[in-house]
Amino acid sequence: MESLWNSGDAENCRTDLALRVYTSRLLGRDSSLVLHGGGNTSLKTAGKNILGEEEDILYVKGSGWDLATIEEAGFAPVRMKHLLELAKLDSLSDPAMVNELKTGMTKASAPSPSVETILHAILPYKYVDHTHADAVVTVTNTDNGMERIREIYGDLVVIIPYVMPGFDLARECARLFSADAGSRTIGMILMNHGVFSFGATARESYERMIKLVGMAEDYLKKNGAWDLEFPPAAQLDKALRVPLAELRGNISAAAGFPVIMAAGSDDKSLSFAQRDDVPRISQSGPATPDHVIRTKRLPMIGRNVDAYVTEYKKYFEEHAKGHTMLDPAPRVAIDPEFGVCAVGQGAKAAGIVADLYRHTMDVILRAEALGGYKALSAKEIFDVEYWDLEQAKLRKAGRPPIFSGEVALVTGAASGIGKACVKSLLNRGAAVVGLDINEDVVTTFTGPGFLGLVCDISDEEAVRDALEKSVRAFGGLDMLILNAGIFPAGQKISGIETEIWRKTMTVNLDANLFLMRESHPLLKLAPAGGRVVVIGSKNVPAPGPGAAAYSASKAALVQLMRVAALEWGSDGIRLNCLHPHGVFDTGIWTEEVLKSRADSYGLTVEEYKTNNILKVEITSRQVADLAAEMCGPLFSGITAAQLPIDGGNERVL
C-alpha cells in the first residue's frame, strides 16, 4: 500500500480542519480501507466559545458522511471536557451516549457525531484515523488471528479483543491503551473490526495508517495469501431473466416490500459462487460489524427463500431478548448460475451490499489461504444486527419513496417525454432502465438507479437482450412505459409510400408488441403487480389529414393495450394510456419548426403553443408525472383507461 500524500495539495490546506478533510479523503479514495461511509477520522483542536472562553474541541466525522467526499461541514465539533468525563463512567447505554454526544456539540446544525467519538477522544493524539482495512481484517478473522497480529506488529500497536462498537468499546480501549501503549505505539488493532492510527500531524496519522495496512498486506503476500485467482467461471448461455425475477419476487415477499436485486455474473462472482466449499466459507459471518449491518446475518445459498427465512426465524428466536424481528429476507444470495446477488430496498442500497460482499469475498479467500476464515460468533452478529442504535435508525427512518425497490423500463428515453419519464420515476425512488436508439441514452442520467441501453426496439433479439441486462442489473420489471415512436412526414393516403407505412407500423406497433410480449413473464412477477403505460396520441381519438400511418399505428397500439388489459388482468397487470398533444419542449420542435407551424395557422408562437381550450402549454414533465402517477396507487383500480393531456381539444370533445 502506497501513500497518496501530495505536499503540493497539502500546502493548499490553510487550517488543521482542512488538512483533516484532505487526509480523510485520501483514505476514502481506497475502497480496501473504507467503503460507503465506513471508518472515521478526527481532529483535536482549541477554540473560543461565544463567551470568549478557550475550550478543547474534538472534530469527528459525522453520521451520514463518506470519507471519500467529506467536507469541513461533515465533521461534528464536540467539547473534549464533556467526552473525557463521559469516558470515566462505569456504564452508559448507547442511546444515552448518543444523546450526550449531541448535547456536547458546539454547533447544533452539525451532523450527529460518530458512535466511536469517545474512543477518539481518549486517544492522546491530535489526529486519529480509523478504517476497516481488508488486509488487517483478513488477518484478525482467522483462528489464530491474535498471534498473527502480534507477529506482524509487535509493540507498534495495542491489540483490542473484539468488543461491539459503542461505549463499552471506548472503555475497553481506554483501559488497554493506557496499560499497553509504549513509545513505539502508532496504532490499535481492533480484532474482527479494523485498525486505528494516530499522530501529531495529519500526514503522520495518515501515513501510519498506510504503514500498518501495508505491513498486513506484506504478511499476506509472504504467506501466499494475497494473490487471488478467479478463473473464468462456467457462463451459462441461457436467459436467466425469468428465474432471476422469480427469486427477486420471493425475496420481496419475505421482506414485505419490493427490493432491487443486482446479479453479479462476472468471473469473480461466478467463480466464488461455483466453489465446492462456498456453503461453508460463506456461512461463517461477515468480515466486520459494519458489514453485519449492511448485509444482514449470512448469505442465502441457492434460491430456497422459504428455507432461509425459516432458519433466520429460528436464529432470531434463539437470541431475541425481546427485540422485534427485522424483515427476514436475505441481502446476499449466492447461486452457481446467478453468481452473487445483492439485495437492497433501492438500487443504491443493493449497490452498497454488492461492494461490501465483493470485499468480503477477498477477505474470506485470503483468510482461508492463511489457515481458515473465522468471523464473529452468531451471538455477536445478532447483537450488531439488533443494536439499539440501528433499531433507532430504523424507527426514525421516514417512509421510503413511493416506487422504492421497484424497476421501470422506459423506451425513447434519451429525449423528450421519455427522458422526462425517466426523471419522474427516479424522483419517486424507482430504478429505471432507459432504452433508445440514440447512444446518448447511456449518459442521459447518472447514479446507481439508472441503466441506459442503446436498443433498436424493432429488433426482437435486441429487445430480449435489453430485458436480460435489465433484470441482471435490478432483478425484475414492475413498470413499462411505452413511449418510443416515430412521426413520419405528412402524406395523404392516395400517395403514401409503402416503405413509410411499414416502417411506422414496425416502430410504433410491432416493436411495442415485442416489448409487451417479452415483458409479460416479468410483469407477472412484480411484487406489487405489473403496470404498463402507453404513450398514445391525440391522433387516436381525433386523427388529422396527412397522418394516416401515424394515426393508424397509434390506434392499433391502443387497441393492443386494451386486449392486453383483458388478458393480463388475472396476472395482476394493469395497462393504461395517455394521449398527449402539443408537447413542444421536445427535440423535434425547434424554434424554426414552431414558427413555421404557427405561421401556417396565422398565430404567434405563444398562441400556437397554447392553442387549446384551456389556453395552457403542455410540457414533457406534465406528461411524465401523469405517466408515473398511473403506475402509482391512485390508479390501482384502473385498467384500459385512456386519458388525454392536451389542454382540451374541441375535435376530441
Going by pLDDT thresholds of 50, 70 and 90, the confidence category of residue 230 is confident
Question: Given this model, what pLDDT does residue 5 score?
Answer: 96
> What would the pLDDT profile of 500-558 be if each residue is shown by its tens digit?
999 999 999 999 999 999 999 999 999 999 999 999 999 999 998 888 999 999 999 99
Residue 395 pLDDT > 80: no
Q: Is 136 helix (H, G, I), strand (E, B) or coil?
A: helix
Residue 262 pLDDT > 90: yes
Residue 237 pLDDT > 80: no
> What would the pLDDT profile of 364-377 be if each residue is shown by its tens digit?
999 999 999 998 88
DSSP 618: B
Mean pLDDT for 286-293 is 82
> What would the pLDDT profile of 14-68 be if each residue is shown by its tens digit?
999 999 999 999 999 999 999 888 899 999 999 888 888 999 999 999 998 999 9
> What would the pLDDT profile of 74-120 be if each residue is shown by its tens digit?
999 999 999 999 999 999 998 999 999 999 999 999 999 999 999 99
3-state SS, 508-561, equals HHHHHHHHHHHHHHHHCCCCCCCEEEEECCCCCCCCCCCEHHHHHHHHHHHHHH
Render the burial of 120-139: b for 16+ CB within 10 Å, e for the rest. Answer: bbbbebbbbbbbbbbbbbbb
The angle at the Cα of 79, spanning 122 to 200, to the nearest 5 degrees, equals: 50
Are the CB atoms for 379 and 297 separated by under 8 Å? no
Residue 294 pLDDT > 80: no
Task: Give me the amino acid identity at 532.
Answer: V
Higher-confidence residue of 292 and 315: namely 315
Annotated catalytic residue: which of 127, 386, 550, 608? 550
Are the CB atoms for 405 and 258 separated by under 8 Å? yes
Tell me whether residue 550 is one of the annotated catalytic residues. Answer: yes
> How far, in Å, are 413, 433, 443, 460, 504 from residue 438 at the CA level?
9, 14, 11, 17, 18
- Alpha-carbon dihedral of residues 473, 477, 478, 482, nearest 10 degrees? 110
**Hey, what's the cell of 33?**
480501507
CA 608 to chain centre: 44
Q: Is 341 helix (H, G, I), strand (E, B) or coil?
A: strand
- Which of these, 355, 467, 490, lies nearest to 408 by C-alpha position? 467
Mean pLDDT for 407-434 is 97
> What would the pLDDT profile of 592-624 be if each residue is shown by its tens digit?
878 887 887 899 999 999 999 999 999 999 999
Higher-confidence residue of 560 and 296: namely 560
Average pLDDT, whole number, for the chain?
Answer: 93
